[in-house]
Amino acid sequence: MLALVRLRRLEALRKTLTISISKNNLVRTITTSPKKNETSVPTTNTCEPPKKFWVSYGFDYSDENIDKHGMHSLFFLVVSVVFCGGFVFMAYQPDAGLRNWAQREAYLELRRREELGLPPIDPNLIDPALVKLPSDEELGDTDIII
């Protein structure tokens, strides 16, 4: 007997929860009444479907499929070939400014000068007789910053 009373309380609790949940979440039930939802559908197509409004991309003004194909082909080529191929070409091209060559040549020259016992940079790289410096009278009060 006690089990029936508890079952009854549990069932009442379940109903109140269902009602409160359906009010808060706006749960709608689906009815399958044939009287309210019956509609007649015509079996033959009496009119043509409306033609879609089409704006050309500029590749063909008379055929929509050719126009779309041209647009997609062009953008595929631009994005994949030009951008991706251009970046790959720039990444793998040889030393364009010969910067790596100049650095390797400088290291070889430094090694050669060290083996011969010469200083890394010769102080008389340019012959001092060829350099024309202004005299002290021409400089006057000009500050010389070295």
pLDDT in tens, 106-124: 999 999 999 999 999 888 8
Residue 59 tokens read as: 């590749």
Segments making up each domain of the chain, as ranges: 57-120
Residue 9 tokens read as: 């309380």
Position 12 pLDDT exceeds 70: no
Tell me the per-residue pLDDT of 64-78, one tens digit each, with 9 for 90 and over.
Answer: 999 999 999 999 988
pLDDT band at 36 (very low <50, low <70, confident <90, very high): low
The predicted structure's pLDDT at residue 8: 64
Whole-number Å distance between alpha carbons of 125 and 37: 102
The predicted structure's pLDDT at residue 119: 92
What would the mean pLDDT of 1-26 be, rounded to a whole number? 59
Position 82 pLDDT exceeds 90: no
Q: Contact, 59 vs 72, CB < 8 A?
A: no
The predicted structure's pLDDT at residue 120: 92
Q: What's the chain's average pLDDT?
A: 79
